[in-house]
Amino acid sequence: MKKIISIVVALIIIGLAAVRLHANRENIVSQKQNIATEAVSVSVVNVERKSSSFTLNLTGTLYPYKEVDIPAETSGKITSRKFELGESFKKGSVIATIDDKIKKLTYESAKIDADRLKKDFMRIENLYKKDISSEQAYDNARIAYETSKNKMDEAERQLSYTKITAPINGTITKRNIEEGAYVNAGTPIATIMDISKLKVKVNVSETNAYYLHKGDRVKITTDIYPGATFEGRISFVSPEGDNAHNFPVEIEVTNSSRNPLKAGTFVNIEVNIGSSGTGLFIPREALQGSIKDAKVYVASNGKAVLRSITIGRQNSNYLEVVSGLSESEQVVVSGQVNLTDNKSIKIINNN
């Protein structure tokens, strides 16, 4: 009898547990359904049609127009150093000299030989013209003179290497030697930089790169000189992008005596990338995914519908929509983190 009572009690307990589990399951399902149907609060803006004149805003760094390491062209001891850091030189100015005693003697000796053989050649040439000297004697004298002249020219060239000159107009930015030091041919003795003009180097996205052309004018500003503007021109648009589909672009800007710029300064660039009538625009905040695989949430009948679009021109604030949206449709600009396709939404604004 006791055994039967135990079995009945166990069955009752199991039945109550099953009822409890079923109730919990129904409650969880109900909560999930409520969550699924609960509207997400979002902000939206209208897709706007307006003039597609577009300004591309970029940030770049200034680089010197030219920067050259100045090497010694011959070996020897530095007998004079005529430059200091920050000193400016014209192209061709002597900035240092190397001991030239041996090379000067070599040149003078070669010049004496060349002068002597030139006289011999001229004398034999006159005799040859009068049929007094043979053709063989004439050829020998000419070859001897030309050989000596070549040796003299080479000796003169080697002598010129003892004078180290500035290869460009510019300012000395590095000093690698001191007077009295011994240098080998090819040893850099200084670096000279030309910042009469500067270059801005920037990377531009593939879409925007196609709107930029060599010779286009750009506006350049810097926080160093608030209110001052500099005019630049695009000097190079790379025909090849990198793995991230960014294209190197270079911009030239003439330095200003009133507001002199230095290499290494950050600058802001504004480029008007033209107008093609009107276009559709959305704020950048609406974008889901990447420019290459662009999507937006469109507010439609109380739901957020995920839609693929094609992006045209772009800047830091707005995107031009080439296809995928119509004028006056509404796109979600905040609250997307809680959205999925066809999720119910509650619009809390309508800009």
> What's the CATH code, domain 40-53+277-347?
2.40.420.20
Residues carrying CATH 1.10.287.470, the chain: 100-161
Q: What is the pLDDT of residues 190-211, one digit of tens each?
A: 999 999 999 999 999 887 888 8
- Strand 310-314: give its sheet, edge to edge: 48-51, 278-283, 318-323, 310-314
Q: The dihedral of CA 107, 109, 110, 114: what is its sign?
A: positive
Judged against a pLDDT cut of 70, whether residue 139 lies above it is answered with yes
8-state DSSP, 35: H
Q: Does domain 57-64+195-272 have CATH number 2.40.30.170?
A: yes
Q: What percent of the chain has pLDDT over 90?
A: 68
Superfamily per CATH, domain 100-161: Helix hairpin bin (1.10.287.470)
Judged against a pLDDT cut of 50, whether residue 62 lies above it is answered with yes
Q: What is the pLDDT of residues 71-121, one digit of tens each?
A: 999 999 999 999 999 999 999 999 999 999 999 999 999 999 999 999 999
Instruction: Summarize the confidence of residues 56-68 as an average pLDDT.
Output: 92
Residues carrying CATH 2.40.420.20, the chain: 40-53+277-347
Q: What is the mean pLDDT of the chain?
A: 88
Residues carrying CATH 2.40.30.170, the chain: 57-64+195-272
Model pTM score: 0.62
- CA pair distance 269, 231, nearest whole angstrom: 10
